[in-house]
Amino acid sequence: QVQLKESGPGLVQPSQTLSLTCTVSGLSLTSNSVSWIRQPPGKGLEWMGVIWSNGGTDYNSAIKSRLSISRDTSKSQVFLKMNSLQTEDTAMYFCARIRITTGFDYWGQGVMVTVSS
């Protein structure tokens, strides 16, 4: 079955770079697209960006200058890198499969990232 799992450091210092990995199983990244979505504590969902099945990317304009999404199809992994982290970036970070028809139909469990010195 389709599964996604996020991994990465739980604590990042301000101004540093966040690196997260989403490992997928039950689907191929060459025919599926994956998004990153984050959720600050007690708040709503913010779409961050997507890597399409063809390898192209799109980003939320609010964070585009700081964000990069890439993948390694042979390892079934999608990567998120975001620089210049601030306390406002403290959030649960989710990866999810996105399909034009159904939206975000499979989600990972999420990884909590705290930005603090």
Binding site for other proteins (CB under 8 A): 35, 44-47, 58, 60-61, 94, 96, 98, 100-110
Positive or negative: CA dihedral 96, 98, 101, 103: positive
Nearer Cβ to other proteins (74/101)? 101
Nearer Cβ to other proteins (82/106)? 106
Minimal distance, residue 4 CB to other proteins, in Å:
9
Backbone angles phi, psi at 10, to 5 degrees: -85, -20
Provide the edge-to-edge strand list for the sheet that holds 77-82.
Answer: 3-7, 18-25, 77-82, 67-72
Question: How far apart, in whole angstroms, are the C-alpha atoms of residue 98 and residue 3?
Answer: 13
Nearer Cβ to other proteins (2/11)? 2
Minimal distance, residue 113 CB to other proteins, in Å:
15
